Amino acid sequence: MAAALAEIADPDAAVQFRRFFKTGPGEYGAGDVFLGVRVPESRAVAKRFAALPLDQVDALLDSPTHEERFVGLVILNTQFARASGARGFDADARARIVESYLAAVRRGRVNNWDLVDVSAENIVGPWLLDRPRDLLFELARADSLWERRVALLSSFAFIKAGDASTTFALAQRLLDDRRDLIQKALGWMLREVGKRVDRGLLIGFLDEHAAELGRTALSYATEHLTPAERAHYRAATR
């Protein structure tokens, strides 16, 4: 699999990706290694290796190379979906995939926004649809920026199922988190509640909490409101 990615690597793109994903000293992606493989190409490689054994996927998730971790996560998505699908529900396979994913998260291997965003809503979210969601609140309390983002993005699966309650509960816990990538995820999930579940629920949340939200989160959350509504809520920020 590594050889398949190396064959299509683009050194010029790798330089761009290192800047885009903030890999400089002190930045959130500090020290990450890029080959320069674009997302569609990475997904094509993941499709070729979709049946890779889980221990080999785990090895990909521990790779120092960003694109290898990305491909590993896309493979986990595919395997989780197949284990959940109409062709046969495999509870044991689902549990093993979730365990593998959460272990990688806690080892700090799902460690950039694209890695979180491509995986959390497709693995943790569906896994918890019919289960207690204490795990997400544990992740939301973690010191790791990426674990907190996993918590928020996992709730996207619930939003798509018409349930905003977990997103709102997580949002209240993370209102004061001013890390930019948490602000963006928080505002994004709130916006999706308004779009996919109930605009009135979003309005009610904003009426109560707009003054506590950071400007970035509020900007994202209100994107699809009217100009007058956006101005109203932005005037409320402290």
Tokens encoding 187: 């505002």
Longest CA pairwise span in the chain (Å): 54
In whole angstroms, give the CA distance from residue 20 to residue 14.
10
Q: How many domains does the chain have?
A: 2
Q: What is the pTM of this model?
A: 0.95
Judged by DSSP in three states, 177 sits in coil
Residue 167 scores a pLDDT above 80: yes
In whole angstroms, give the CA distance from residue 130 to residue 36.
39
pLDDT band at 20, cuts 50/70/90?
A: very high
Domain that holds residue 43: 1-118
pLDDT at res. 238: 56
CATH number where 212 lies: 1.25.10.90
Q: pLDDT tens digits for 176-193?
A: 999 999 999 999 999 999
Using only the alpha carbons of the chain, give its radius of gyration: 19
In whole angstroms, give the CA distance from residue 235 to residue 136.
31
Which among 65, 85, 118 is the end of a domain? Answer: 118
Burial 180-218 (b: 16+ CB within 10 A, else e): ebbbbbbbbbbbbbbeebeeebbbebbeebbeebbebbb
| Same domain flag for 54 and 143 | no
Residue 230 belongs to some domain of the structure = yes
| Same domain flag for 29 and 95 | yes
Supply φ then ψ for residue 11, to 5 degrees.
-60, -35
Q: What is the mean pLDDT of residues 11-32?
A: 97
Q: Which is nearest to 66 in space by CA: 127, 116, 139? A: 116
Which among 87, 118, 149 is the end of a domain? Answer: 118
Q: pLDDT tens digits for 84-125?
A: 985 778 999 999 999 999 999 999 999 999 999 999 999 999
CB neighbour list of residue 127: distance below 8 Å, 6 or more residues apart: 80, 94, 98
CB neighbour list of residue 1: distance below 8 Å, 6 or more residues apart: 45, 49, 52, 56, 60, 68, 71
* Cα–chain center distance at 120: 5
